[in-house]
Amino acid sequence: MSKVISEKVEKVEQLAKSIYRMTIKSAYISENAKPGQFVNVKCSEGINALLRRPISICKVDKDRGTFDIVFQIKGIGTEYLAQKTATSEVDLIAPLGNTFNIDAKHEKIAVVGGGIGIFPLLYLLRELKDVEKRAYLGFRNKDFAVLLDEFEANCNVLNISTDDGSMGYKGLVTDILENDLKSCNFDIIYTCGPMPMIKRVVEIAHKNNIKCQVSMEQRMGCGIGACLVCACKTKKEESWEYSHVCKDGPVFWSDEVIFDD
Amino acid sequence: MSKVISEKVEKVEQLAKSIYRMTIKSAYISENAKPGQFVNVKCSEGINALLRRPISICKVDKDRGTFDIVFQIKGIGTEYLAQKTATSEVDLIAPLGNTFNIDAKHEKIAVVGGGIGIFPLLYLLRELKDVEKRAYLGFRNKDFAVLLDEFEANCNVLNISTDDGSMGYKGLVTDILENDLKSCNFDIIYTCGPMPMIKRVVEIAHKNNIKCQVSMEQRMGCGIGACLVCACKTKKEESWEYSHVCKDGPVFWSDEVIFDD
Amino acid sequence: MTENKPKMDVNIGGLILSNPVIAASGTFGFGREYSKYTDLNKIGAISVKALTLEPRQGNKPPRIAETPGGILNSVGLQNPGVRAFIKDEIPFLRKFDTAIIANIAGNTLEDYCEMAEILSREDIDAVELNVSCPNVKKGCMSFGNTTAGITEITKEVRKHLRKPLIVKLTPNVTDIKEIALAAEAEGADAISLINTLYGMAIDIHRKRPILANNFGGLSGPAVKPIALRMVYEVSKAVKVPVIGMGGITTGDDAVEFMLAGATAIMVGTANFVNPTACVEVEKGIENYLSMYNINDVNDIIGILELN
Amino acid sequence: MTENKPKMDVNIGGLILSNPVIAASGTFGFGREYSKYTDLNKIGAISVKALTLEPRQGNKPPRIAETPGGILNSVGLQNPGVRAFIKDEIPFLRKFDTAIIANIAGNTLEDYCEMAEILSREDIDAVELNVSCPNVKKGCMSFGNTTAGITEITKEVRKHLRKPLIVKLTPNVTDIKEIALAAEAEGADAISLINTLYGMAIDIHRKRPILANNFGGLSGPAVKPIALRMVYEVSKAVKVPVIGMGGITTGDDAVEFMLAGATAIMVGTANFVNPTACVEVEKGIENYLSMYNINDVNDIIGILELN
Ligand SMILES: Cc1cc2nc3c(=O)[nH]c(=O)nc-3n(C[C@H](O)[C@H](O)[C@H](O)COP(=O)(O)OP(=O)(O)OC[C@H]3O[C@@H](n4cnc5c(N)ncnc54)[C@H](O)[C@@H]3O)c2cc1C
Ligand SMILES: Cc1cc2nc3c(=O)[nH]c(=O)nc-3n(C[C@H](O)[C@H](O)[C@H](O)COP(=O)(O)OP(=O)(O)OC[C@H]3O[C@@H](n4cnc5c(N)ncnc54)[C@H](O)[C@@H]3O)c2cc1C
Ligand SMILES: Cc1cc2nc3c(=O)[nH]c(=O)nc-3n(C[C@H](O)[C@H](O)[C@H](O)COP(=O)(O)O)c2cc1C
Ligand SMILES: Cc1cc2nc3c(=O)[nH]c(=O)nc-3n(C[C@H](O)[C@H](O)[C@H](O)COP(=O)(O)O)c2cc1C
Ligand code: FES
Ligand code: FES
CA atoms within 13 Å, Cβ hemisphere of D197: 34
At residue C135, the pLDDT reads 58
Q: For D18-76, what is each residue's pLDDT tens digit?
A: 999 999 999 999 999 999 999 999 999 999 999 999 999 999 999 999 999 999 999 99
Bridge-partner residues for B24, per DSSP?
Answer: B9, B67
Q: How far is C28 from chain D (nearest CA, A)?
A: 23
* Closest listed residue to residue B98, CA positions, set B39, B41, B34: B34
Rounded average pLDDT over A123-149: 95
Contacts of B174 (CB under 8 A, 6+ apart): B112, B136, B138, B197, B200, B201, B204
Residue of D nearest to B3 (CA): D37
DSSP D5: P
| CA dist., res. D225 & res. D116, Å (int) | 33
D222–C70 C-beta distance less than 8 A: yes
For residue D1, the model assigns a pLDDT of: 45
Pairwise CA distance, residues C163 & A39, whole Å: 41
Q: Does D303 touch chain C (CB under 8 A)?
A: yes
Among residues D272, D51, D255, the alpha carbon closest in space to that of D140 is found at: D51
Question: What integer pLDDT is reported at residue B260 of this predicted model?
Answer: 87
Phi, psi for D110 (deg, rounded to 5): -65, -40
Distances (CA, A) of A64 to A15, A56, A67, A151, B59: 22, 19, 9, 21, 50
Amino acid letter, residue A207: K
Give distance in angstroms: CA of B43 to centre of ligand 2: 11
Residue B258, helix vs strand vs coil: coil
Contacting C with CB below 8 Å, chain A residues are 1-4, 42, 47, 49-52, 93, 218-232, 240-242, 247, 261
D203 lines ligand 2 (CB under 6 A): no
Chains contacting chain A through 3 or more C-beta pairs under 8 A: B, C
Ligand nearest to the CA of C132: 3
Average pLDDT over residues D241-253: 98
Mutate to test the interface with D, among C59, C196, C204, C231 (most CBs of D within 10 A): C204
From the CA of D23, the nearest ligand is: 4
Give the CA distances from residue B8 to residues B12, B25, B26, D60, D255, in Å, rounded to whole numbers and listed in that order: 11, 6, 8, 38, 33
Q: Which fold has domain D10-58+76-203+217-300?
A: TIM Barrel (3.20.20)
Nearest residue (CA) to ligand 4, atom 19 = D195
Is C130 near ligand 3, meaning CB less than 6 Å away?
A: yes
Decide: B232 and B257 in contact? Cβ < 8 Å: yes
Whether the per-residue pLDDT at A70 is higher than 60: the answer is yes
Chain D neighbors of C256, CB-CB under 8 A? 201-202, 204
**∠B231-B232-B237 over CA atoms, to 5°?**
115
Domain regions of chain D by residue span: 10-58+76-203+217-300
Of C68, C273, C275, the CB nearest to A51: C273
What band does D139 get if pLDDT is binned at 50, 70 and 90?
low
Which chain A residues are Cβ-neighbours of B48 within 8 angstroms?
44-48
Q: What is the mean pLDDT of residues B4-26?
A: 97
The chain D residue lying nearest B228, using CA atoms, is D75
Please identify, by atom number, the ligand 2 atom nearest to the C-alpha of residue B69.
8
Interface test with C, best of A5, A228, A235 (most C CBs within 10 A): A228
pLDDT for C1? 45
Residue C141: predicted pLDDT:
53
Which of C108-130 are b and which e, b meaning 16 or more Cβ less than 10 Å from the residue's Cβ? Answer: ebebbbbbbebbeeeebbbbbbb
The answer to whether the Cβ–Cβ distance between A227 and C26 falls below 8 Å is yes
Question: Which of D204, D214, D306 is closest, CB to CB, to C255?
Answer: D204
**Rounded Cα distance, B193 and B216, in Å:** 8
Does the pLDDT value for residue B177 go beyond 90?
yes
Concatenating the DSSP letter of every residue in C107-129 gives SSHHHHHHHHHHHHTSS-SEEEE
pLDDT of residue D3: 53
Chain D residues lying within 8 Å of C232, measured CB to CB? 200
- Give residue-wise pLDDT tens across range A237-259: 999 999 999 999 999 999 999 99
Amino acid at A183: S
Q: What's A63's DSSP letter?
A: T
Can you tell me the mean pLDDT for A38-50? 95
The side-by-side arrangement of strands in the sheet containing A132-139 is: A169-170, A157-162, A132-139, A108-114, A188-192, A211-215, A251-253
Of D170, D165, D163, give the one whose Cα is nearest residue D155. D165
Q: Among residues of chain B, what percentage have pLDDT more than 90?
A: 95
- Residue pLDDT tens, chain C, 307 long: 445 789 999 999 999 999 999 999 999 999 999 999 999 999 999 999 999 999 999 999 999 999 999 999 999 999 999 999 999 999 999 999 999 999 999 989 999 999 999 999 999 999 999 987 655 555 555 788 899 999 999 999 999 999 999 999 999 999 999 999 999 999 999 999 999 999 999 999 999 999 999 999 999 999 999 999 999 999 999 999 999 999 999 999 999 999 999 999 999 999 999 999 999 999 999 999 999 999 999 999 999 999 9
Gap from B235 CA to chain D (nearest CA, Å): 12
Q: Residue D210 — pLDDT band, cuts 50, 70, 90?
A: very high
Interface test with D, best of C173, C194, C195, C223 (most D CBs within 10 A): C223
- The verdict on the CB of residue C223 being under 6 Å from ligand 3 is yes
pLDDT band at B250 (very low <50, low <70, confident <90, very high): very high
Residues C72-84: b if buried by 16+ CB within 10 A, e if exposed = bbbbbbbbbebee
Residue among A38, A39, A51, A55 whose CB has most ligand 1 atoms within 8 A, to mutate: A55
Q: By the 8 A CB rule, do C166 and C127 touch?
A: yes
Amino acid type, A25: K
C168 lines ligand 3 (CB under 6 A): yes
**Can you tell me the mean pLDDT for D133-156?**
78
pLDDT band for position B128 (cuts 50, 70, 90): very high
Q: What is the pLDDT of residue D137?
A: 56
DSSP state of A146: -
In angstroms, the CA B187 to CA B212 distance is 9
Do A90 and A24 meet the contact criterion of CB atoms below 8 Å apart? yes
Instruction: Compute the radius of gyration of chain D from its Cα atoms.
Output: 18
Residue type, B20: Y
Answer yes or no: C113 catalytic.
Answer: no
CB-CB under 8 Å, C75 with A227: yes
pLDDT at D118 over 80: yes
Ligand nearest the Cα atom of residue C103: 3
What pLDDT is attached to residue A258? 97
pLDDT of residue C288: 98
What single-letter DSSP state applies at residue B242?
E
What pLDDT was estimated at residue B45? 86
Angle subtended at Cα A254 by Cα A249 and Cα A260, rounded to the nearest 5 degrees: 90
Weakest mean pLDDT among B94-108, B213-227, C133-147, D178-192:
C133-147
Q: What's the average model confidence in pLDDT over A80-101?
A: 95
| Calpha distance B25→B64 (Å, rounded) | 8
CB D253 within 8 A of CB C200: no
Angle (CA) C113-C117-C120 rounded to 5° is: 130
CB atoms within 10 A of CB D175: 15
Chain A closest CA to B4's CA: distance in Å?
A: 23
Alpha-carbon Rg for chain A in angstroms = 18
What pLDDT sits at residue B144?
Answer: 94
Is C95 exposed, middle or buried, given 0-12, 13-18 or 19+ CB atoms closer than 10 A? exposed
Across the interface, of C33, C64, C68, the residue whose CB is closest to A229 is C64
| Side-chain half-sphere exposure of D69, counting CA atoms within 13 A | 28
CA C169 to chain CA centroid, Å, is 9
Cis peptide before C62 (omega within 30 of 0): yes
Mean predicted confidence (pLDDT) in A180-188: 93
Q: Do residues A49 and A40 make contact, with C-beta atoms less than 8 angstroms apart?
A: no
Per the prediction, chain A carries an average pLDDT of 96
Q: What is the mean pLDDT of residues D77-91?
A: 97
Q: What is the pLDDT of residue B22?
A: 98
Inter-residue contact C242 to C262 (CB < 8 Å): yes
Burial (CB count within 10 angstroms: exposed 0-12, middle 13-18, buried 19+), residue A237 = exposed
Long-range contacts at A156-161 (CB < 8 A, ≥ 24 apart): A156/A132, A157/A133, A158/A134, A159/A134, A159/A135, A161/A136, A161/A137
Ligand 5, CB within 6 Å, residue ranges = A 220-223, 225-230, 244, 246-247
CA of B219 to the centre of ligand 2 (A): 7
| Rg from Cα positions in chain C | 18
Which H or E run contains B119?
A: helix B118-127
b vs e for C195-209, b when ≥16 Cβ sit within 10 Å of the residue's Cβ? bbbbbbbbbbeeebb
Tens digit of pLDDT for each residue in B150-164?
A: 999 999 999 999 999
Q: Is the CB of B223 under 6 A from ligand 6?
A: yes
Q: Where are the beta strands (DSSP E) in A17-82?
A: 19-25, 38-41, 53-61, 66-72
CB–CB contact B229 D63 (8 Å) = yes
Using a CB-CB cut-off of 8 Å, the residues of chain B touching D37 are: 3-4, 93, 224
The ligand 4 site (C-beta within 6 Å) comprises B 221, 227, 229; D 24-27, 49-50, 73, 75, 103, 130, 133, 168, 195-196, 219-220, 223, 245-248, 267-270
Taking the CA of residue C201 and the nearest CA in chain A, the distance in Å comes to 14
Q: Is B196 in the pocket of ligand 6 (CB under 6 A)?
A: no
Probe site for chain B from A45, A85, A89 (most B CB atoms < 10 A): A45
Mean pLDDT for B74-100 is 95
Distance of CA D40 to the CA centre of its chain: 17
